[in-house]
């Protein structure tokens, strides 16, 4: 499948590399059409790995994955272009984090979420919020954890969520994905990031996840 990745940071590179290894064609989109990080990544990963602008990547992808920093996501998606997102599944992995102070805080929370803002800004895309509750190494290889854990999806379109749940299982190995409901449930998973930050310090590693037990 052709995947348009938005973002050349650690999350974009980790997901991009995994998808190339699986045989997909991946275009990594950046603000800068000659982003050195994206060029280096594409050279390393071989001929299934491409790079370009946000717009190039969104036009290329049958599915789009937003891996930009939360603070930059709406701007990146605007550059990607409404027409290039229309009718496509847009997997949103971002968190609206403000890293500027010692304690993480969120730029949006409680009465709104980045997931909702993206869906409102691009009503013709099928936004599915997922993967944002785990570190990127866990995103693409949950089987490295000592037990089966849970991932979550939020989105308004049932079929888009079903497709994403299948993708998460088949591409990355997520066997248990909980459908939280519509895109408004992005609030909870985005606000979870504050808790995740404390847990990371408590367990002294970003490689962990949670399992829901009844």
- What is the contact surface with its own copies in residues (CB under 8 A)? 103, 105-106, 109-111, 145-147, 149, 154, 178-181, 184-185, 187-189, 191-192, 194-199, 201-203, 205, 207-214
DSSP string covering 111-169: S--HHHHHHHH-TTSEEEE-STTS-HHHHH-GGGSSS---EEEEES-HHHHHHHHHHII
Pair of tokens at residue 133 = 């509750």
To the nearest whole angstrom, how small is the minimum distance from the Cβ of residue 132 to its own copies? 11
What is the C-alpha separation between 103 and 97, in angstroms, rounded?
Answer: 10
What is the C-alpha separation between 87 and 214, in angstroms, rounded?
Answer: 37
To the nearest whole angstrom, how small is the minimum distance from the Cβ of residue 191 to its own copies? 4
To the nearest whole angstrom, how small is the minimum distance from the Cβ of residue 65 to its own copies? 22
Nearer to its own copies, 37 or 156 (CB): 156
Nearer to its own copies, 8 or 154 (CB): 154
- Signed CA dihedral, 92, 21, 140, 152: sign only: positive
Q: What is Dmax (Cα atoms) for the chain? A: 50
Nearer to its own copies, 87 or 103 (CB): 103
Pair of tokens at residue 189 = 């998973």
Nearer to its own copies, 88 or 129 (CB): 129
To the nearest whole angstrom, how small is the minimum distance from the Cβ of residue 66 to its own copies? 20
Q: Which of 206, 136, 133 is nearest to 176 (CA)?
A: 133
Nearer to its own copies, 39 or 71 (CB): 71
Nearer to its own copies, 169 or 197 (CB): 197
What is the C-alpha separation between 160 and 137, in angstroms, rounded?
Answer: 24
To the nearest whole angstrom, how small is the minimum distance from the Cβ of residue 190 to its own copies? 9
Helix, strand, or coil (residue 94)? coil
Phi, psi dihedrals of residue 98, rounded to the nearest 5°: -110, 110
To the nearest whole angstrom, how small is the minimum distance from the Cβ of residue 152 to its own copies? 8
């Amino acid at each position: 499948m052709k995947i348009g990745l938005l973002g050349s940071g650690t999350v974009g590179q980790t997901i991009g590399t995994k998808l190339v290894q699986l045989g997909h064609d991946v275009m990594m989109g950046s603000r800068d059409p000659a982003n050195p990080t994206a060029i280096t990544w594409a050279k390393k990963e071989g001929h299934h790995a491409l790079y370009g602008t946000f717009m190039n990547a969104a036009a290329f992808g049958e599915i789009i994955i937003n891996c930009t920093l939360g603070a930059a996501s709406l701007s990146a998606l605007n550059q990607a272009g409404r027409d290039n997102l229309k009718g496509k599944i847009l997997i949103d992995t971002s968190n609206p984090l403000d890293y500027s102070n010692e304690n993480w805080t969120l730029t949006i929370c409680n009465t709104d979420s980045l997931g909702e803002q993206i869906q409102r800004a691009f009503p013709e895309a099928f936004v599915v919020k997922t993967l944002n509750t785990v570190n990127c190494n866990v995103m693409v290889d949950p089987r490295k954890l000592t037990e089966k854990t849970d991932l979550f999806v939020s989105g308004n379109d049932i079929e888009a969520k079903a497709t994403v749940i299948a993708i998460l299982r088949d591409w990355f190995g997520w066997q248990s994905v909980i459908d939280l409901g519509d895109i408004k449930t992005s609030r909870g998973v985005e606000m979870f990031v504050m808790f995740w930050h404390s847990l990371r310090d408590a367990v002294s590693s970003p490689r962990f996840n949670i399992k829901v037990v009844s």
